[in-house]
Structure 1
Amino acid sequence: MDPITAAALTALAGGLGGEAARQAWQGLSALVRRPFSRGEALDAPPGVSTGELELASLEDAPADPMRAQALATALGVRAALDGEFRRLLDEWWQQTRAGAEAGDVHNHISGGTQGEVFQGRDFSGITLHVHRTSPPADQR
């Protein structure tokens, strides 16, 4: 399993990435709140966090790298002790990363003179004012 970084958790907790990040955070929250499963025991071993406290702490201060690292550590320890959690966490992480990559924008402009180019993704609430420096060809 690829480790889940504190930076990735900070981005998700802070809502960076919009709706996709919000959904990923909800998925992680649901996963962390699942009972700890080690054979027949449903409680975490003494001294081992389920990750719930760290998750709530990061929700309260999503930009705090120490809280993000605490959650990343709790997730790693729980995954090492709970095979089912490790499998589900790995599935969640792969889906989250795939969703983030699917949202990437790759623009390519080539050949000739393009004039003004506007590149980006998910624009809203903007107004463009275009000023012509010469009359259109059909009005010359």
Structure 2
Amino acid sequence: MDPISASLLTAVATGAGGELGQQLWAALRGLVRRSPTGEPAGSPDPTTGEAELTALSAAPHDVERARALSEALRRRAEQDPLFRTHLTQWQQQAQVLRTGDGDAHNTVSGGNQRGPVVQGRDFSGLNFNVPGQG
């Protein structure tokens, strides 16, 4: 299983994506808190990742805490096939959030630009109020 990126975990922990981010965080919390049998755990187990989840919850922008949670999730997924299956499903659902993973290379060259130039990544719904022809 590929490790879950720290940027994805911090995005979900900080509520990125609004309601979807909150639902993903709640789903991850529920998954981590389940025992290896899939039933709710009676007491915290140090190998579940719950301590790392709680730490990230307390400081959701902390990338080091997110990395620690990612590592704990990876270790648990190696030991528990059912958890790995559910975590993989969670990770696939969470990929709809744009986390800044990946590169964006923006270049404007060749002459004079007249009008707006937008540089960045993952834009949608832009409108520059261009007058209609007519």
- Pick the TM interval, shorter chain: 0.5 to 0.7
User: What TM-score do the two structures reach when normalised by structure 2?
Assistant: 0.67
For residues 19 and 125 of structure 2, the distance between their equivalents in structure 1, rounded to whole angstroms, comes to 22
For CA contacts below 8 A with separation 6 or more, give which structure has more relative contact order. Answer: 2
Which residue in the other structure is 1:11 paired with? 11
For residues 12 and 33 of structure 2, the distance between their equivalents in structure 1, rounded to whole angstroms, comes to 17
Identity %: 44
Which residue in the other structure is 1:50 paired with? 48
**What are structure 2's unaligned runs of at least 5 residues?**
99-121
- The Cα shift of 1:114 comes to 1.2
> How many residues are aligned here?
103
User: What TM-score do the two structures reach when normalised by structure 1?
Assistant: 0.64
Contact 2:4/2:91, CA 8 A, preserved across alignment: yes
Which residue in the other structure is 1:96 paired with? 94
Secondary structure of 2:130 counterpart: coil
Which residue in the other structure is 2:130 paired with? 114
CA RMSD of aligned residues (A): 2.8
Which residue in the other structure is 1:79 paired with? 77
**What are structure 1's unaligned runs of at least 5 residues?**
116-140
Following TM superposition, where does structure 1 have runs of at least 4 consecutive aligned residues deviating by more than 2 angstroms?
104-109
Q: Which amino acid aligns with 2:9?
A: L
Correspondence 1:63 to 2:61: yes
